[in-house]
Chains A and B, each alone.
Chain A
Amino acid sequence: MAGVRHNTQRIQSEMKDFRSDLSDELSALAPPPLGDIVGAAASRGRRTRRLRAVSAVVGSAVAMAGVAVLLGGPLSTAGGSTVPVSAAAAPLPSSSATPNAAPNAGAKPAEAQVPISGAALLAAVLPLLPPGATSHLAANTQEPDSKGKNPTTSVQIEVTTPAGTGMVRVFTGKPDQPMFCPKSDCSTDAAGQKVMVDHLADNCIEHTSVSVRRPDGTAVQVLSSSCLAFDGKSNAPGTVVLTDAQAVALATNPLINDSMTPSEGAAAAAQYPSLPTFG
């Protein structure tokens, strides 16, 4: 008992020393001025909110126009014309899309590409997941750093399969650093994509992690977690819903990309107008 108390006192003493020593070190450093970081954050936040609002409005308009076309077709029989089935009614890409196809080989129209939004990434990921109900949809968009590099878009989805509910996160971006890819853990597929599969048994979020780097520099990471999203108090236990092969197929699927066309962005924003962020 005395031993336990002594040990606790020693740890408390170490914690105190750790904090005070680290505090001394930080005080001795000369960090750059903080500047108006709060004002800048508020300004970027306001812009993000405005963009989301505009995207929602534009997306709604596109959706309304699509509905009008769909309704107008069969009803305008007097003219004798038949409106072809809208692209919106076309079948979704199959989850068996060739995983080794060349990156960016998805059938995207030749429009200008812009960085992918969270909603568009979600729209791309959802059809590729195993069958099941999805919930807790969320997305994060990390804007480029001060050098205009390393923007990241990520999404979070909970999938309920017959085996249970699990969480999947997908990240895309174009980092300016090469992928750390030791020969022992890394392979290159037929499309020239570097693929690395990790398992972190003691980290439920990253239970299965597949990192992919494509020849054009696009990075994709898929996390299949053994716990669910943080609910403000904890991460409840979950089921790992992707096998390693499924996670690799998802991460290497060319439909998962870091860019989109503006029309894809508008359609996705209409479908998912107010995605929450995840931490």
Chain B
Amino acid sequence: MRKEAEFTAFAEGGATRLRQIAYLMCRDWHLAQDLTQTTLTKMYVAWPRITRRDTDPFLYARKVLLNSLLDHRRLRSSGEVATDKLPEQPDTPDATAVRLTLLDALAQLPRRDRAILLLRHWEDHSVEVTAEILGVSTSIVKTQSMRALAVLRSHLGEDREVLFS
């Protein structure tokens, strides 16, 4: 029962954050919800083993979530449609339009670059932890992170002064 209570406390504390990460990766709230539930289910099944390890369960959950998401999209052959055009924007960058632009620009990035940016700059992980979670080298994380930020800046164009001042 203690394990059950521990899991419930962990899941209730982390579900919103997990779903946010999933949404930022897939831009689909329903898929994000499904993947979060799948992740928590796997966490529940593996909970006795996870808690025996001296690692942060959320780190494990995030890894399961990202892998589930990448696997899901891999097997679906990605419903994602890559485009080099951003949604039309009004000439006057009002506040709402600027806020929408960053999410849209993020969605233009390749999946892995998006994951790197989110882990590094949204989740605030070190280069090393990001590399471990994604199974890539630290140099890849560094170069792709810089490149992805540069792509974001170029997508955002003039708005970058507002967003990345």
> Which residues of A are at the interface with B, using a C-beta cutoff of 8 A?
13-15, 17-19, 21-22, 24-26, 28, 31-32, 34, 37-38, 40-42, 44-46, 48-49, 140, 142-143, 145-146, 150, 152, 154, 171, 173, 175-181, 202-205, 211, 213, 219, 221, 227, 230, 232-235, 276-277, 279
Contact = CB atoms under 8 A, between A and B. Distances in A.
Q: Is the interface of A mostly helix, strand, loop or mixed?
A: mixed
A205 B63 CA distance: 13
Interface in B1-45: 4, 7-8, 11-12, 15-16, 19-20, 23-24, 29-31, 33-34, 36-38, 40-45
A42 B72 contact: no
Nearest to B19: A34
A53 to B, nearest CB: 11
Interface residues of B, number: 65
B121 A18 contact: yes
B135 A204 contact: yes
Contacts, number: 165
Nearest to B162: A21
Contacts of B68: 142
B114 to A, nearest CB: 12
Nearest to B60: A279
A18 B112 CA distance: 17
A150 B76 contact: yes
Nearest to A229: B135
A46 B49 CA distance: 15
B10 to A, nearest CB: 9
